Amino acid sequence: MKKFKGKVAVVTGGARDIGRSISIKLAREGAKVVVNYFNSRAGAKKTVDEIKAFGGEAIAVKADVSNLKDIKKLKAKAVKTYGKKIDILVNNAGGLFARKTLQEFDEEFYNLLMDVNFKSTVFVMQAFEPLMGKGGSIINLSSLAARDGGGGGSSLYASSKGAVTTFTRGMAKELGPKGIRVNSLCPGMIATKFHDDFTKDEIRKIVAGKTPLRREGSADEVADLVIYLASKESSFITGTNFDINGGLAFS
């Protein structure tokens, strides 16, 4: 029996890397998936095509989830396609964009980091929460950086993800009486394009070497935890920020 048969899921930033793995695994478990993307049009099409190839249901919807008008469009498309009930919401969209020190970043860079990583989480939740009911699950993507301040030049990124972890706890209290659970994940070094773009190979090797499991994690391993948190098997878990970092850091 598939875990999410008849359920609808929305995944922001669902076209590549962790978001792609989440979208595909949700669909394999029977969910109808709204795959949000902004720049990754080809990746979104590939993700949806793969889901449809194994008999799943999915649509790709372009939207800048740091923009309230685009969030409304995303919601409207989801409702038009799959109806007025959303069961699973995964706030995965985010980014680092560049590594900058205190004296290097400006107001524009500050706004970009906070909008993409935190504002998007807040207002996507605000938009979709009215469509969710008892048994609904919201999973936000934070980061190990939220716990340790991040690597060099990523203080704003770490701070924006720290806001996500705190907001997750607050929303767990607010939405719990409605039967909606809210949790977040704090991935460590995961083998994705994110680190291909922003982390030097030698640093990745050092971090992997310090990790008790002596390796990086995979997008699929993060997605597996999302599946658990979206399912009834985790029905008494809310307000928790889950470390998934191979033992590199503990709560």
pLDDT in tens, 220-241: 999 999 999 999 999 999 999 9
Helices 219-230 and 17-28 pack at an angle, to 10 degrees, of 50
The secondary element (H helix, E strand) that includes residue 187 is: strand 181-187
Q: Is residue 157 annotated as a catalytic residue, yes or no? A: yes
Distance of alpha carbon 67 from alpha carbon 225, whole angstroms: 28
- The one-letter amino acid at 64: D
Instruction: State the virtual CA torsion across 43, 16, 5, 165 in degrees, nearest 10.
Output: -150
How do residues 81-136 score in pLDDT, each as one tens digit? Answer: 999 999 999 999 999 999 999 999 999 999 999 999 999 999 999 999 999 999 99
At 211 the pLDDT is 87
More confident site: 21 or 209:
21
pLDDT at 11: 98
- Please give the Cα distance from 213 to 114 (Å, whole number): 32
CATH code given to domain 8-190+219-243? 3.40.50.720
Residue 246 DSSP class: T
Global pTM reads 0.94
> Which secondary structure element, helix H or strand E, spans residue 114, and what is its range?
helix 107-114
Q: What long-range pairs does 25-28 form, CB within 8 A, spacing at least 24? A: 25/220, 25/223, 25/224, 25/226, 25/227, 26/88, 26/90, 26/226, 26/227, 26/230, 27/51, 27/54, 27/56, 27/57, 27/58, 28/2, 28/54, 28/56
pLDDT at 70 (0 to 100):
98
Which among 37, 82, 110, 157 is annotated as catalytic?
A: 157
Domain coordinates in residue numbering, the chain:
8-190+219-243
pLDDT tens digit sequence for 197-208: 657 788 888 888
- pLDDT for position 208: 80
Sequence-separated (6 or more) residues with CB below 8 Å from residue 123: 65, 68, 71
The predicted pLDDT at position 47 comes to 98
Give the chain's length.
251
Tally of CB atoms within 10 A around 111: 13
Question: How confident is the prediction for the chain on average, in pLDDT?
Answer: 95
- CA dist 156 and 144 (Å) reads 13
